[in-house]
Amino acid sequence: MKQIDTIIIGAGPCGLSAAIELHKQDMEYLVIEKGNVVEAIYNYPTHQTFFSSSEKLSIGDFPFITEQHKPHRNQALVYYREAVKHFNLKINTYEEVTSGRKSGEQFILETSKGQYACNHLIVATGYYGQPNHLDVPGEGKEKVFHYFKEAHPFFNQKVLVIGGKNSSVDAAIELEKAGADVTVVYRRGAYSKSVKPWILPQFDSLVKNDKIDMHFSTEVVDIKDQSVVLEKNGETFELPNDFVFAMIGYHPDYRFLSSFGVELNENEYGTAPNHDPNTMETNIPNLYIAGVIAAGNDANTIFIENGRFHGKIIADEIAKQHSER
């Protein structure tokens, strides 16, 4: 069993930020990541543009400089790789934490490659790895996707996009541009207020010009091999269909935290781990959370812009404990 003072689970921007702050204070740490560095960002659409400026995506006072105000996905991938190299961060990639438990004052972690014991544990696993589900027949078919990468494979295909927020609107625009026959369904009666204001006019224009078939107040009832069954205003109808993008959001997985005894509290955004926002420590001593996993079910309250500061809060708290020994 390998003994490490602090283990960080997750090498997203918030996990990397925590690692940098521990590194700056010369404290022992290890990041364990089931994929590669910033795996979630890698899984964003190929041509994704961030909402935030490059400055607000930077971590550890390491400059993120781009010509345009808002960077693209690939620029972010380059930046975070360079940050890892600059600080020479200790990261085990492609190693998945499979379970954990408390043993006295330590945390014991089982991974796909070994076993670790640590005095402090930081969980920064985000939410992008767990898509929300429709819970309708046929959702498990190979034609159904919860992530959108790029549009080219869907040229001349009948595609249904489910959802009415940014990810679905962006996907629908790209699919239409690539020559797909696009239908969008949204369970609410109007566009979401969260849709980017510089994108909505373009999408609405496509709808008004019959380039995209838009259905509000519509639910998916069944996904069949060559069609989808929809319900709108109490009436059921069926559309021919080749592929489905269920872009209905993502959620954090709290099962791992719960296995240590972390309490889950209900707040205005849903369920969130019990933690002190001043230290990011949960109700389990020396177990911290960083990034969007602290937000509950509303990922719009914590994201890279503010979650990146959790790392310094946590590192300072761990350093304080060391100084008091």
Class at the top of the CATH hierarchy for domain 144-246: alpha beta
Mean pLDDT of 166-183: 96
Is a pLDDT exceeding 70 seen at residue 84?
A: yes
Q: What percentage of the chain reaches a pLDDT higher than 90?
A: 78
Task: Report how far residue 2's alpha carbon sits from residue 4's, in angstroms, rounded to the nearest whole number.
Answer: 6
Q: What are the boundaries of each domain within the chain? A: 2-130+250-324, 144-246
Residue 292 is predicted with a pLDDT of 84
Residue 15 is predicted with a pLDDT of 96
- Residue whose structure tokens are 């592929």: 243
Mean pLDDT of 157-171: 95
Question: pLDDT, tens digit, for every residue of 15-52?
Answer: 999 999 999 999 999 999 999 999 999 999 998 888 88
Mean pLDDT of 85-107: 97
Residue 210 is predicted with a pLDDT of 97
Tokens of 173: 């625009």
Is a pLDDT exceeding 60 seen at residue 175?
A: yes
Sequence-ordered list of residues with C-beta below 8 angstroms from that of 283, at least 6 positions apart, any chain: 261, 262, 263, 274, 275
Residue type for position 117: A
CATH 3.50.50.60 is held by the domain 2-130+250-324: yes
CB 5 within 8 A of CB 120: yes
Alpha helices, H only, 278-309: 304-307
Mean pLDDT of 158-175: 95
Query: Is 144-246 the same fold as 2-130+250-324?
Result: yes
Tokens of 64: 């993120």
Mean pLDDT of 242-253: 92
Residue 283 is predicted with a pLDDT of 96
